[in-house]
A and B are shown apart, each in its own frame.
Chain A
Amino acid sequence: MKIHEYQAKVILAEFGVPVPRGRVATTPAAAAAIAQELGGTVVVKAQIHAGGRGKGGGIKLAHSPQEAEQVASQILGMMLRTHQTGPEGQKVKQVLVEEGMDIRQELYLGIVIDRKAGLPVIMASRAGGMEIEEVARTRPEAIVKTHVDPATGVTGFHTRKLGYGLGLKGDLLKGGADFISKLYRAFGVKDCSLAEINPLVITGDGRLLALDAKMNFDDNALSRHPEIQALRDLDEESSLEVEASKFNLNYIKLDGNVGCMVNGAGLAMATMDIIKLAGGEPANFLDVGGGASAEQIENAFRILISDRNVRAVFINIFGGILRCDRLAEGVIKAVKTLGVSLPIVIRMEGTNVELGQRMLRESRLNFITAQGMKDGAEKAVRAARSA
């Protein structure tokens, strides 16, 4: 799960990580009031989950409360387009108004889980303000990394390795060690999948400060963090995906016209792949899970076809725990209740397949049955074309 920058900074401040003074505003007048309170130059920053906000015109300086109000009125309500939002952009509903900083140097500090090592890894770089993926590709030697054993946590040698790697000296080295330890603590306590400070700045008066902050959280751990769940911004997610998540369905909207419904994530991805190989484009990823009920199948179907681009549906089920008769029951009910007129190609295999197929035949609804995934994908792509 992702959160906004201002939310991340509130969390970091709780752990003692130094962040600029500032608050979030939803109206230009409120932005002006915050600017007045902070005094001097302020930065007005659009709050959307996507990165690349500055380049898209979502971050602006203001030298007075009046200017802050004016800048905020431009940013609030805009459709901000960045390389991460897609062409339609994301509507800005909130701005973070922060004190302007005298910046001596920009650094990078981030923590993620290294899958291969099975451990958190702290990464630091003097190339602050740039995308770390880009730095990793072009100048991997510019990134210092250290893995942390959860049994010991961050210790002196970790922070020395990172601090010297960043070129910190004297008080800044000590400050850096403190900063890193606190960020790591926040990462662990809050079950983050990513905690990234980019840039981490050294101010003109020699302090370290998190000028930007990004925190992503492990979805699997959200159940023990109601305070993080409360930060979820549904406007940042596709409405169909939000709807699907209510029914424990894994749905991701794509751009094609062949809707697919599959059990199991791997088979669902493979089904998208085979639709493409058959010359079509998948409209979505949809995993109904191993133990889907007839009701869940019905909900899945409803969500699937509410994507207006869908011209045909391909149902690909390898029944293990999910029995084919239960699937057939759900699909028949969904088609009848929702009055679906789209062509539906069904490929079933596994437990109770004969019973499931008989139910489909006897329903007298217009299902197209398929033998194997390839046949199913080809039939679905053909149906989508002629629909």
Chain B
Amino acid sequence: MSILVDTSTRLVVQGVTGKEGTFHALTCREYGTKVVAGVTPGKGGIVHEGIPVFDTVAQAVAKEGANTSLIFVPPGFAADAILEAADAGIRVIVCITEGIPTLDMVKASRALQGRAVRLIGPNCPGIISPGKAKVGIMPGHIHKPGRIGVVSRSGTLTYEAVGQLTARGIGQSTCVGIGGDPIIGTTFVDALRLFQADPETDAILMIGEIGGTAEEDAAAFVKAHVTKPVVGFICGQTAPPGRRMGHAGAIISGGTGTAAEKMAAMKQAGITVVKSPAEMGEAVARLLPSAPARRRVAKGTVRAAAKPKARAKAKTSAKKAKRR
């Protein structure tokens, strides 16, 4: 299994003819994702890099059976793109766009409530189920199919964590970047619930950051509902209060949202909390004593990446990578 995206994913890319949209639509397709359509209003009818382009998401759903959308629309129009995808019956909407006005997201997320649709992001790297489908901007080659669920508010810090796992031969069931904005579609709690229910996920790595109380909510959920082992890390332990640390949502305000509070709540919920970002992979490895002997490669490097279409050749490609 895995969660949210897999081999049944039929992807439509909104904003497909833009520079970013094109680049990432192609990397998703190269990874093996079924990229069935693109949408750019006004460009319907053309075929862009082998991808049929439509004017509306509804057409992409009707003609190509798209069930998942990946959004690269500029910030001022992205909330509208989310609503369009939901209206067209898309099941999973992944919004990469950074910088969407908060009040636009307030309206969009309110409009999605109670509907059978899942929004991931915005301001996120997307989702990948290694070996099955990549719906996002993450480098596919650092991932490896396996049984660890990863959920994070960050982009590159997630790559770092995945790199540490893969270097230890530990694969991932699905990696979800939920996004760094204050208002996001899928929270830690949502992702944890999905991983807990997924029979192919054995343990969960959760990467939070300062700002808000999503990690505290997640800790309470873990305590009450999650039986699988969870490893956690919170970045921003040294961040000054009152400053927005890159992500719109990463700000300690009015004394709340500190890393210390989050780490304490997570520890109290039985989560294995690591202080150092260099120890995320190792902590997961320690939680999996019964796992089969894992291939170890040079410390701190990412080399054991398996190509989705050549999983059987993982060993050879790892050797090749070493030589490179």
CB within 8 A of A320: which of B20, B107, B137, B182? B137
Q: Does A265 contact B (CB under 8 A)?
A: yes
Measured between beta carbons, the chain A residues less than 8 angstroms from B248 are 219-220
Spot the interface stretch: B8-16, B204-212, B221-229.
B204-212
* Contact between chains at A254 and B180 (CB < 8 Å): no
Name the CB-closest residue of B to A275: B238
- The distance from the CB of A354 to the nearest CB of chain B, in whole angstroms, is 5
Report A66-98 residues with CB < 8 Å from chain B CB.
84
- The distance from the CB of B93 to the nearest CB of chain A, in whole angstroms, is 16
A-side interface residues, number (CB < 8 Å): 60
Report B157-174 residues with CB < 8 Å from chain A CB.
157-160, 163
Report B170-186 residues with CB < 8 Å from chain A CB.
180, 182-183
0/1 per residue, A206-242, Cβ < 8 Å to B? 0000000000001111011000000000000000000
Q: Does A106 contact B (CB under 8 A)?
A: no
* Contact between chains at B142 and A113 (CB < 8 Å): no
Measured between beta carbons, the chain A residues less than 8 angstroms from B20 are 291
- Given A116-B217, A264-B154, A320-B159, A277 and B276 touching (CB < 8 A)? yes
Q: Does A130 contact B (CB under 8 A)?
A: no
Q: Does B275 contact A (CB under 8 A)?
A: yes
* Contact between chains at A221 and B102 (CB < 8 Å): yes
In the assembled complex, the Cα of A116 lies from the Cα of B187 at a distance in Å of 9
In the assembled complex, the Cα of A371 lies from the Cα of B300 at a distance in Å of 6
Measured between beta carbons, the chain B residues less than 8 angstroms from A373 are 160, 277-278
CB within 8 A of A270: which of B104, B157, B242, B254? B157
Spot the interface stretch: A174-182, A282-290, A298-306, A307-315.
A282-290
Measured between beta carbons, the chain A residues less than 8 angstroms from B316 are none
Measured between beta carbons, the chain B residues less than 8 angstroms from A262 are 156
* Contact between chains at B237 and A116 (CB < 8 Å): no
Report A101-154 residues with CB < 8 Å from chain B CB.
113, 115-116, 118-120, 132-133, 136-137, 149-151
* Contact between chains at A267 and B157 (CB < 8 Å): yes
Measured between beta carbons, the chain B residues less than 8 angstroms from A287 are 246
Q: Does B245 contact A (CB under 8 A)?
A: yes
- Given A220-B248, A273-B277, A118 and B209 touching (CB < 8 A)? no
Name the CB-closest residue of B to A375: B300
- The distance from the CB of A346 to the nearest CB of chain B, in whole angstroms, is 13
In the assembled complex, the Cα of A271 lies from the Cα of B242 at a distance in Å of 19
* Contact between chains at A349 and B102 (CB < 8 Å): no
- Given A115-B249, A282-B238, A285-B239, A266 and B300 touching (CB < 8 A)? no
* Contact between chains at A191 and B156 (CB < 8 Å): no
In the assembled complex, the Cα of A359 lies from the Cα of B137 at a distance in Å of 26
Q: Does B26 contact A (CB under 8 A)?
A: no
Q: Does A39 contact B (CB under 8 A)?
A: no
Measured between beta carbons, the chain B residues less than 8 angstroms from A15 are none
* Contact between chains at A372 and B300 (CB < 8 Å): yes
* Contact between chains at A150 and B139 (CB < 8 Å): no
Q: Does A40 contact B (CB under 8 A)?
A: no
Measured between beta carbons, the chain A residues less than 8 angstroms from B163 are 318, 349-350
Measured between beta carbons, the chain A residues less than 8 angstroms from B275 are 273, 277
Measured between beta carbons, the chain B residues less than 8 angstroms from A29 are none
CB within 8 A of A220: which of B101, B153, B213, B255? B101
CB within 8 A of A115: which of B142, B183, B238, B247? B183
- The distance from the CB of B219 to the nearest CB of chain A, in whole angstroms, is 14
Name the CB-closest residue of A to B247: A265
Q: Does B240 contact A (CB under 8 A)?
A: yes
Measured between beta carbons, the chain B residues less than 8 angstroms from A254 are 238, 240
Measured between beta carbons, the chain A residues less than 8 angstroms from B284 are none
- The distance from the CB of B146 to the nearest CB of chain A, in whole angstroms, is 19
Most buried by A among B103, B154, B245, B248: B103
Measured between beta carbons, the chain B residues less than 8 angstroms from A113 are 102-103, 106, 182-183
Name the CB-closest residue of B to A119: B106
CB within 8 A of B245: which of A84, A285, A290? A285
Q: Does A296 contact B (CB under 8 A)?
A: no
In the assembled complex, the Cα of A71 lies from the Cα of B208 at a distance in Å of 49
Name the CB-closest residue of A to B250: A265
Name the CB-closest residue of A to B249: A115
- Given A115-B183, A120-B106, A285 and B246 touching (CB < 8 A)? yes
- Given A318-B163, A320-B156, A116 and B213 touching (CB < 8 A)? yes
Q: Does A374 contact B (CB under 8 A)?
A: yes
In the assembled complex, the Cα of A150 lies from the Cα of B183 at a distance in Å of 14
- The distance from the CB of B316 to the nearest CB of chain A, in whole angstroms, is 18
Measured between beta carbons, the chain A residues less than 8 angstroms from B107 are 150-151
In the assembled complex, the Cα of A132 lies from the Cα of B254 at a distance in Å of 9
- The distance from the CB of B207 to the nearest CB of chain A, in whole angstroms, is 7
* Contact between chains at B103 and A224 (CB < 8 Å): no
Measured between beta carbons, the chain B residues less than 8 angstroms from A220 are 75, 99-102, 248
CB within 8 A of A265: which of B106, B142, B245, B324? B245
Measured between beta carbons, the chain A residues less than 8 angstroms from B32 are none
* Contact between chains at A350 and B207 (CB < 8 Å): no
Measured between beta carbons, the chain A residues less than 8 angstroms from B106 are 113, 118-120, 150
* Contact between chains at A319 and B139 (CB < 8 Å): yes
* Contact between chains at B101 and A269 (CB < 8 Å): no
* Contact between chains at B301 and A349 (CB < 8 Å): yes
* Contact between chains at B246 and A273 (CB < 8 Å): no
- The distance from the CB of B299 to the nearest CB of chain A, in whole angstroms, is 6
In the assembled complex, the Cα of A276 lies from the Cα of B302 at a distance in Å of 25
B interface with A by C-beta (< 8 Å): 20, 75-76, 99-107, 109-110, 125, 137-139, 142, 152-160, 163, 180, 182-183, 207, 209-210, 212-214, 217, 233, 235-240, 242-250, 254-255, 275-278, 298-302, 324
> Can you list 24 A-B contacts with CB-CB less than 8 angstroms, sorted by A residue number?
A113-B103, A113-B182, A115-B182, A118-B110, A119-B106, A120-B103, A151-B110, A191-B103, A220-B99, A220-B248, A224-B76, A264-B157, A265-B245, A265-B246, A267-B155, A269-B245, A273-B235, A273-B237, A274-B276, A274-B277, A285-B246, A290-B137, A321-B137, A373-B278
The 4 A-B pairs of least Cβ separation, nearest first, read A266-B154, A265-B246, A372-B300, A264-B156
